[in-house]
Amino acid sequence: MQDTLKHKGLRNKLAEIVADQGITDTKVLEAIKNVPRHLFLDSSFEAHAYQDKAFPIGAEQTISQPYTVAFQTQLLAVKPQDKILEIGTGSGYQTAVLLGLGATVYTIERQQELFKKTKLFFGRMGYRPKKVIFGDGYKGLPNEAPFQGIIVTAGAPLVPKPLLAQLAIGGRLVIPVGQTEQVMTLFIRKSEKEFEKKEFGNFRFVPLLENKN
């Protein structure tokens, strides 16, 4: 599989589509233009890669819709070198978008099959997250905390306390909260004990599951 000018052209269109839906952060739009989303899908699905749609990636999981990736990333307000924790590595697309913004990325996946596949894929593609971890995102990554940003890419029935605890002061947690439908929720840590909470519309994600291991 390779990246071509045709793919690049389709990505420019995709960036326009998400911009029309209200994404204004030019760095996020740049990342959408640059990350070759078709390479994150099985080659038979390549034709779907630049539609603004979620798509199956195996192990009953999905690569999030580009608009959703852009929306969550915009809420995260990433600055270069920020330490970011991603829960739900999946295909690795969101990870690549975060790397494109210059973040230092830690990413956790609980499906072993996807974890192995995506870790190998990062290596082949030259993507360099700081750590790709097989584990339970509910627990976060206490040994690497604090994080400037934490992004949860699966629907959380409740907000895991460890994730709030692992935010730096000023840090942001972007998490879709709810059972069948989720409300995109942003927590900003104002001080050791205070968190500001903001809610942004409904989304649908695959569920954030407790680990079986």
91, amino acid identity: S
For residue 88, state whether it binds ligand SAH (rule: CB under 6 A).
yes
Angle between helices 26-34 and 5-20 (to 10 degrees): 150
Catalytic pick from 44, 64, 91, 191?
64
Question: Measured between alpha carbons, how far is residue 156 from residues 2, 3, 88 in Å?
Answer: 35, 34, 11
Which of residues 50, 138, 187, 203 is near ligand SAH by CB under 6 A?
138
Q: d(Cα 202, Cα 193) in Å, to the nearest integer?
A: 27
The answer to whether residue 159 forms part of the interface with ligand SAH (CB under 6 A) is no
Q: For ligand SAH, give the closer residue by CB, 88 or 149.
A: 88
Scanning 12-20, 84-92, 161-169, 184-192 for contacts with ligand SAH by CB under 6 A, the matching segment is 84-92
Please tell me the distance from the alpha carbon of residue 54 to that of residue 205, in angstroms, as a whole number. 9
Rounded distance between C-alpha atoms, residue 28 and residue 76, angstroms: 10
Catalytic residue flag (residue 64): yes
Q: Is 171 in the site for ligand SAH (CB under 6 A)?
A: no
Point out which span in 27-35, 59-67, 72-80, 167-175 binds ligand SAH (CB under 6 A).
59-67
Under 8 Å CB-to-CB from 178, ≥6 apart: which residues?
A: 155, 156, 157, 202
Closest approach, Cβ 57 to ligand SAH, in A, equals 6
Joined together, the tokens standing for residue 203 give: 């989304």
Nearest one of 86, 76, 71 to 23, comparing CA atoms: 71
Q: Which residue has the tokens 């603004």?
A: 52
Give me the least distance between CB of 68 and ligand SAH, in Å please: 9
Stretch touching ligand SAH by CB under 6 A, among 28-36, 61-69, 175-183, 186-194: 61-69
Q: Which residues are catalytic?
A: 64
Which residues of the shown chain bind ligand SAH in the complex (CB under 6 A)? 61-64, 87-88, 90-91, 93-94, 108-111, 114, 136-138, 153-154, 206, 208-209, 211
